Amino acid sequence: MKGVILHAPHDLRIEEIAVVPPGPGQVRIRIAAGGICGSDLHYYHHGGFGAVRIRQPMALGHEIAGTVEEIGAGVSHLVPGLRVAVNPSQPCNACRYCHEGLRHQCLHMQFIGSAMHFPHAQGGFRQSLTIRAEQAVPVGENVSMAEAAMAEPLAVCLHAARQAGPLLGKRVLVTGCGPIGALCIIVARLGGAREIVVTDVAQAPLSLAQQLGATHAIDIAATPEALAPYASDKGRFDVLFEASGNERALAGALDAIRPGGVVVQVGLGGPMTLPVNIIVTKELKLHGTFRFDAEFQLAVDLMSRGQVDLMPLVSATLPFERAVEAFELAGDRTASMKVQLAF
């Protein structure tokens, strides 16, 4: 079979790789669709992010879905032909955090398509992938493979919403309208937010944000003063989902958050300098949010019940043989939201 293998920045190759038969408790999935994530783009353009660097050839991809092709011994709840979304998290289930119910903070996490450990956890951009049986989550017949491959980023945003607390009747600000910001809009709307204002520096994602249910979309590059009215009387918004990972976006939004409001930092960027005085005097609650756990099953359930529609986010689908073209397109925010590979 073939896979999409990164050797170095901008050195992405389609190569033959071995098929791995499933062992006890495992299944082999024939991959149908895979979405290109921001972390995949960091690997492609920069060889990694922060201290995480690619040190050996690695298959990219962790937003994947497909069909059960083969089952290993002891697997009774899955059968060949079953359509599934693949949960990329592989916690050890033995460390202190796993025992405390914080499996997403596992000390020995093997996350599909990650160079955090060496040897790297090979990714899912390949024609078939062998995983633990519990990582294969069946999806409803009404869910396309393209949508099923969006379960992972949706789970990220559901976990972020958990950090924010109840959203019913809340006024929500989302800064950054890439795929994660767009999914935060969907989750906030699902949670019953009364108002959802979004900011970005490009028109294309802002237009989509309004289609997804944003109350108001602001081009903060063209109108940098547009948030000023929301800052009156110490701020209007109850919750901020900061999805850009940009220090200026976070700092610029805090004036518009009301005292006691919740700030959820979803986007990852470089080191930030925080305006601590505002956080202190307004008694803001600053939360980090990292990956997900039980939210993956919730994401699949919401899609299977038709409670969310994620297809508007899929802006292009290319054959995996055209992976380089797909990665270049995914990096162009004026032309794409979520680019997927078809296998």
pLDDT over 90 at 25, yes or no: yes
CATH number at residue 270: 3.40.50.720
Q: Which strand (E) or helix (H) includes residue 11?
A: strand 11-16
From residue 300, alpha-carbon distances to 21, 66, 83, 277 in Å are: 26, 13, 12, 41
**Residue 46 DSSP one-character state:** H
Label the pairing between strands 257-265 and 195-200: unpaired
Q: Residues 7, 144: one domain?
A: yes
User: Is position 180 within any domain?
Assistant: yes
Q: What pLDDT score was predicted for residue 108?
A: 96
User: Is position 122 within any domain?
Assistant: yes
Q: What is the DSSP string of 75-142?
A: --S--TT-EEEEP-EE--S-SHHHHTT-GGG-TT-EETTB-SSSS-B--S-BSEEEEEGGGEEE--TT
Asked which of 46-50, 93-97, 136-140 is least confident by mean pLDDT, the reply is 46-50
Q: What pLDDT score was predicted for residue 49?
A: 87
Neighbours of 38 (CB within 10 A): 17
Q: Residues 78, 30: one domain?
A: yes
Q: What is the 3-state secondary structure (H, E, C) of 180-227?
A: HHHHHHHHHHHCCCCEEEEEECCHHHHHHHHHHCCCEEEECCCCCCCC
Rounded Cα distance between 284 and 301, Å, is: 33
Beta carbons of 338 and 314 less than 8 angstroms apart: yes
Q: Residues 75, 211: one domain?
A: no
Q: How many domains does the chain have?
A: 2
Q: Residues 130, 188: one domain?
A: no
Reference 330, options 321, 317, 322, 339; nearest CA is 339
E strands, 201-308, in order: 216-219, 237-242, 257-265, 285-288
User: Is position 54 within any domain?
Assistant: yes
Rounded Cα distance between 261 and 82, Å, is: 44
pLDDT over 90 at 63, yes or no: yes
Rounded Cα distance between 175 and 178, Å, is: 9
**Structure pTM?**
0.96
Q: Residues 31, 90: one domain?
A: yes
Rounded Cα distance between 150 and 266, Å, is: 17
Q: Over the chain, what is the mean pLDDT?
A: 96
State mean pLDDT over 182-210. 97
Q: Residues 158, 36: one domain?
A: no
Q: What pLDDT score was predicted for residue 268?
A: 86
Label the pairing between strands 83-86 and 136-138: antiparallel
Q: Residues 317, 225: one domain?
A: no
Rounded Cα distance between 91 and 93, Å, is: 6
Q: What is the DSSP string of 127-166?
A: SEEEEEGGGEEE--TTS-HHHHTTHHHHHHHHHHHHHH--
Where is pLDDT greater, at 60 or 271? Answer: 60
For the record, the structure tokens of 93 come out as 């289930």
Q: What pLDDT score was predicted for residue 50?
A: 83
Q: Residues 141, 242: one domain?
A: no
pLDDT over 90 at 270, yes or no: no
Q: What pLDDT score was predicted for residue 271?
A: 84
Q: What pLDDT score was predicted for residue 17?
A: 96
User: Is position 158 within any domain?
Assistant: yes
**pLDDT tier at 279 (50, 70, 90 boundaries)?**
very high
Amino acid occupying residue 73: A
Nearest-Å Rg of the Cα atoms of the chain is 20
Tell me which residue range forms the domain holding 199: 154-288
User: Is position 293 within any domain?
Assistant: no
State mean pLDDT over 103-128. 96
pLDDT over 90 at 43, yes or no: yes
Q: Residues 242, 267: one domain?
A: yes
Q: Residues 110, 8: one domain?
A: yes
Amino acid occupying residue 29: I
**pLDDT tier at 138 (50, 70, 90 boundaries)?**
very high
The set of residues, in sequence order, having a beta carbon less than 8 Å from that of 294 and lying 6+ positions away, is: none
Q: Residues 133, 97: one domain?
A: yes
Reference 329, options 321, 312, 317; nearest CA is 317
Neighbours of 108 (CB within 10 A): 13
Cis peptide before 119 (omega within 30 of 0): yes
State mean pLDDT over 81-106. 97
Q: What pLDDT score was predicted for residue 130?
A: 98
User: Is position 296 within any domain?
Assistant: no
Q: Residues 133, 223: one domain?
A: no
pLDDT tens digits, one per residue of 208-226: 999 999 999 999 999 999 9
CATH number at residue 125: 3.90.180.10
State mean pLDDT over 116-132. 96
